[in-house]
């Protein structure tokens, strides 16, 4: 268990594996402002071959804190800008991993139930949309006192490697 960034990869595309993100119960989160926020949740990690270029997602109004995690993949021309409808272009990406193929950013939509302001406007819970000319993943997180949820904003459900089923005789 860790609260640090972790990078995992296989030796090649033919050796796929499953990955997920887990959040423990609120006792591990430590007290923030006299509150233990968050609770156990489990979120699938989307393989980069299934990243999309557009997400329409909903953030639950009943949670005190709402954040996004966005991971973008480098294209032949570099990293494509990612735009969030309520915030405009997201600019605070940081490298993820050692090979320079991915970057991530965290975006706070609400903090203590207060919508957050950005150059293009104000972000809040409810319906939102993100888009780019390049592939990226989007994860939505909501947290409150001893409560949380998280989910991947979507995935391109396409085959990543060929599978030959074994047919019993």
Q: In degrees to the nearest 10, what's the CA dihedral of 71, 37, 113, 88?
A: -10
Beta bridge partners of 17: none
Return the pLDDT at 8: 83
**What is the model's pLDDT at position 116?**
98
What is the per-residue pLDDT for 114?
Answer: 97
What is the domain partition of the chain in residue ranges? 20-152
pLDDT bucket at 25, cuts 50 / 70 / 90: confident
Q: What is the pLDDT of residue 34?
A: 62
Question: Is residue 147 a contact partner of residue 65, using CB atoms and an 8 Å limit?
Answer: no
Core vs surface per residue 122-134: b (16+ CB within 10 A) or e: ebbbeebebbbeb
Indicate whether 27 pLDDT > 70.
no
DSSP 10: -
Quote the pTM value: 0.89
């Amino acid at each position: 268990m860790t609260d640090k960034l972790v990078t995992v990869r296989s030796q090649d595309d033919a050796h796929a594996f499953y990955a997920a993100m887990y959040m423990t119960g609120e006792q591990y989160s430590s007290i923030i402002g006299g509150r233990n926020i968050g609770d156990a949740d489990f979120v699938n990690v989307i393989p980069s071959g299934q990243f999309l270029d557009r997400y329409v997602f909903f953030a639950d109004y009943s949670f005190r804190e709402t954040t996004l995690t966005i991971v973008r993949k480098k294209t032949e021309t570099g990293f494509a800008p990612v735009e969030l409808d309520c915030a405009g272009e997201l600019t605070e990406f940081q490298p993820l991993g050692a090979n320079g193929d991915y970057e991530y950013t965290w975006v706070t939509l609400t903090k203590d139930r207060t919508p957050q302001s950005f150059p293009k406007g104000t972000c809040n819970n409810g319906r939102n949309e993100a888009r780019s000319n390049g592939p990226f993943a989007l994860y939505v997180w909501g947290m409150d006192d001893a409560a949380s949820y998280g989910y991947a904003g979507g995935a391109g459900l396409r085959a990543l490697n060929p599978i030959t089923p074994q047919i019993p005789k």
